[in-house]
């Protein structure tokens, strides 16, 4: 099935979220699925069931309550975000299968650089040892999926200390730069998008 890749550059979180909502609401039977690659200015986002007490300190970074699943996370420059705007019914994909495919795409990208990525039971995302490297959160309406996955590449990780990442107190975070992977955010976005496309093809 066709899959269109868009590189959006650095985009405000709220306007990107609204664009995803509008895209999904306007979809028709033949609308092509898309992957949107971008970075965001500093922002904390809180999922639908998220608890505000997981924000531990006020750093002057805006907090946006959004409609994805999951708890709280941080987005900032140097982190790759890929949004998956997919028709799950057309692809015969269940949400759990999509989560596994997204995680596997990140794990396969790491494996290309001899880094072992892992899943942790009950905590969606990809980890290297105890440290979280990639977070994901999705929203599905009428079989149409949006939101997606964030991969820490080459960023200031300090704002993560102001939250319980994904709702887990004291969870460490890491990034590809600190794992010895020499990729710019742009290169990482392209590579991850290719792995995501490959996983989606395998699910067809």
Closest CA to 185 of 102, 76, 111, 84: 76
Catalytic-labelled residue, pool 37, 38, 145, 166 = 166
d(CA 7, CA 38): 6
d(CA 1, CA 103): 21
Q: What does the block give as tokens for 26?
A: 């306007």
- CA 147 to centroid of chain Cα atoms: 7
Q: What does the block give as tokens for 88?
A: 């799950």
Can 166 be counted among the known catalytic residues?
Answer: yes
The arrangement of strands across the sheet holding 43-46 comes to: 63-65, 43-46, 72-75
Active-site amino acid positions = 166
């Amino acid at each position: 099935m066709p899959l269109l890749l868009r590189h959006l550059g650095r985009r405000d979180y709220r306007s990107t979220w609204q664009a995803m909502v509008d895209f999904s609401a306007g979809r028709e039977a033949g609308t092509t699925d898309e992957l949107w690659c971008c970075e965001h200015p500093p922002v904390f986002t809180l999922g639908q069931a998220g608890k505000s007490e997981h924000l531990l300190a006020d750093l002057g970074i805006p907090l946006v309550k959004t409609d994805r699943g999951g708890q709280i996370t941080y987005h900032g420059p140097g982190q790759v975000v890929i949004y998956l705007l997919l028709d799950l019914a057309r692809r015969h994909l269940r949400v759990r299968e999509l989560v596994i495919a997204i995680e596997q795409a990140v794990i396969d990208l790491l494996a290309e650089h001899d880094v072992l990525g892992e899943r942790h039971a009950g905590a969606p995302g990809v980890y290297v040892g105890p440290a979280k490297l990639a977070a994901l959160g999705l929203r599905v309406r009428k079989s149409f999926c949006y939101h997606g996955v964030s991969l820490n590449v080459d960023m200031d990780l300090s704002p993560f200390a102001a939250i319980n990442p994904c709702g887990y107190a004291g969870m460490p975070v890491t990034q590809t730069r600190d794992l010895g992977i020499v990729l710019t955010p742009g290169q990482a976005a392209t590579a991850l998008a290719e792995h995501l496309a490959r996983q989606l093809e395998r699910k067809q």
